[in-house]
Amino acid sequence: MVLNNYLPILSIKALFLLLCLVNLNGCSFFITSATDDLDHNLTKVILNHNDPETVSEAIPAYLLMLEALIEKSPESEALLASTSSLYSSYATLIPEDQERLQHLTSKALHYGFRSACVHRDDFCQINKLKFDAFEEIIQTVELKDIPALYTAGSAWASWIQANNDNWDAVAQLPQVKAIMKRIIALDETYKNGNAHIYLGILETYLPPAMGGDTDAGKFHFEKALALSEQKNLLIKVIYAKKYARLIFDRELHDTLLNEVVNTDPVQPELTLINTIAQRQAKILLKTADDYF
């Protein structure tokens, strides 16, 4: 796999998918007590690896193993959630292939919703509800429900973006926004503030003239940076792409991206995502003159 062919320019779809790599933190790839150590170590190896190509070649075998385990334990919330997160994460590591991205994110969404349904009965078929009924359920979410809701919400966001030429899919973005807002209301520190990143992207999805809210987007990106102690370099890449470019702030754009390029990517459980972020930062810097 040649990553130079991957995401020649960072798309909104790619931004949502890249976030899923961070979601691996804390996933349980295997359920039995006999494999607890392997679970923990495998998660750390993936997130601490500095070669995305190696990881992308290794993941499919584990996905097949996970699905085989689901056949034996179809009601395992942890196993379903792990499979959802890993499918979304794997989608970040393949070349831009619309059909394949749609397939992988559909699998992620399928398992994410199944996991949420196992967690709470009223989460079943939540994606089929009208928005008012949906929001009513979301407002009942408690702290203990956050992991299940976040897994489903992040997979949902990735699936929508993989199908962004389908207006029926795009019309579901308010549901994702409601999920992330509820998570922030309950615990904005969850996953080091990743819900803020999602909201930052959603608020800057459109320019102000078309209903976007750049001030809100900036607020969420800044909060995400603070909550992650600026260790997650992906946030600065997204901030530059979705906010600085949108308002044509070249100084902020280049400052953020140069900080990414010049920062050591090695951080506990962030090395892989930081390595990808650095590659993307270099691409955005090279295209800056054409954009601005």
Measured distance CA(285)–CA(288) in Å, rounded: 5
Helical (H) or strand (E) element with 202: helix 194-203
Domain encompassing residue 143: 3-291
Q: What is the pLDDT of residues 112-137, one digit of tens each?
A: 999 999 999 999 999 999 999 999 99
Helices assigned H by DSSP within 49-166: 52-72, 77-91, 98-119, 131-138, 146-162
Q: Of 127, 136, 184, 188, nearest to 160 (Cα)?
A: 127
- State the Rg of the chain over Cα: 18
User: Cβ distance 260 to 237 under 8 Å?
Assistant: yes
Q: Which two three-digit tokens encode residue 214?
A: 């750049």
pLDDT tens string for the chain (292 positions)?
Answer: 233 333 444 455 555 555 655 565 444 444 444 444 555 566 677 778 888 888 888 888 888 888 998 999 899 998 899 899 889 888 877 766 788 989 999 999 999 999 999 999 999 999 999 999 999 999 999 999 999 999 999 999 989 888 988 989 988 999 999 999 999 999 999 998 999 999 999 898 877 887 789 999 999 999 999 999 999 999 999 999 999 999 999 999 999 999 999 999 999 888 988 999 999 999 999 999 999 9
CATH number of the domain that residue 165 is part of: 1.25.40.920
Domain count, the chain: 1
Q: Which two tokens stand for residue 72?
A: 């034996």
DSSP letter at 127? G
